[in-house]
Amino acid sequence: EVQMVESGGGLVKPGGSLRLSCAASGFTFGSYSMNWVRQAPGKGLEWVSSISRGSDEIQYADSVKGRFAISRANAKNSVYLHMNSLRVEDTAVYYCARDWDGYNTFDYWGQGILVTVSS
Amino acid sequence: QSVLTQPPSVSGAPGQRVTISCTGSNSNIGAYYGVHWYQQLPGTAPKLLIYDDTNRPSGVPDRFSASKSGTSASLAITGLQAEDEADYYCQSYDRSLSGSVFGGGTKLTVL
């Protein structure tokens, strides 16, 4: 069974940092691109970042470019989101999502982890 | 403001048919990138409903269908059921932004 479990969320002050982790199981992790998608409270979905199977292609939404960094460790079946210079508007539930076919089709999602940026 | 435009809400009675539109541009839907649709039930993660414009993953009822034309796409739900009440999102890739883009979401209410 495909599973993805996010961790590392919590409350952080504006300007602070946080690292999210997503542990995957039930599939050959290294064969899939992975993504982070977030959802602010009561709002819609916003794509945040993607990383290819071999980490050679990385993309970011303009809203996080220069502040967030995505990485992965295929040997640990994990993908990470390093978040720096956090802003109040980064408050959201963060989901990791598997890209099924390499064409941005997100077929499996984690349960999400809440990040709250507040003073 | 989302790159892909969806109506904020739609509604229908049980058994009826509803459609949800998704309007993009020549930088995303019109650039032949696939359109995908997700269903998000309250308090849960999104679920892939339709991929590559018209295809249903295994397990998705055939009451759900989708189409695409030009810079727009549409999701249709026939035989509405109470369990269909959820938020629906379209998604594609935008070559100008070099990343995925979502619609703002449409809340479906089953009357």
**B-side interface with A, Cβ within 8 Å?**
2, 33-34, 36, 38, 40, 45-48, 51-52, 57, 87, 89, 91-93, 97-105
Local structure of A105: helix, strand or coil:
coil
d(CA B41, CA B88): 9
CA distances (Å), origin B75, targets B6, B36, B61, B90 = 11, 10, 13, 9
Cβ–Cβ gap A46/B104 under 8 Å = no
B53-95 tens-digit pLDDT: 999 999 999 999 999 999 999 999 999 999 999 999 999 999 9
A73-118 tens-digit pLDDT: 999 999 999 999 999 999 999 999 999 988 889 999 999 999 999 9
Angle among Cα B20, B56, A37 to the nearest 5 degrees reads 70
Cβ–Cβ gap A104/B34 under 8 Å = yes
Tell me what percent of the residues of chain A surpass a pLDDT of 90: 97
The pLDDT assigned to B1 comes to 84
The pLDDT assigned to A87 comes to 98
User: Sign of dihedral through CA atoms A94, A99, A105, A108?
Assistant: negative
Over 90: is that where the pLDDT of B32 sits?
Answer: no
CA distances (Å), origin A40, targets A7, A10, A26, A43, A112 = 17, 14, 29, 5, 12
Taking contacts as CB-CB distances below 8 angstroms, the residues of chain A near B99 are 47, 50, 59-61
Q: Look at the block and give the residue holding tokens 């990385």.
A: A58
User: First and final CA of chain B: distance in angstroms?
Assistant: 28
Residues forming beta bridges with residue B86, ordered by sequence position: B108
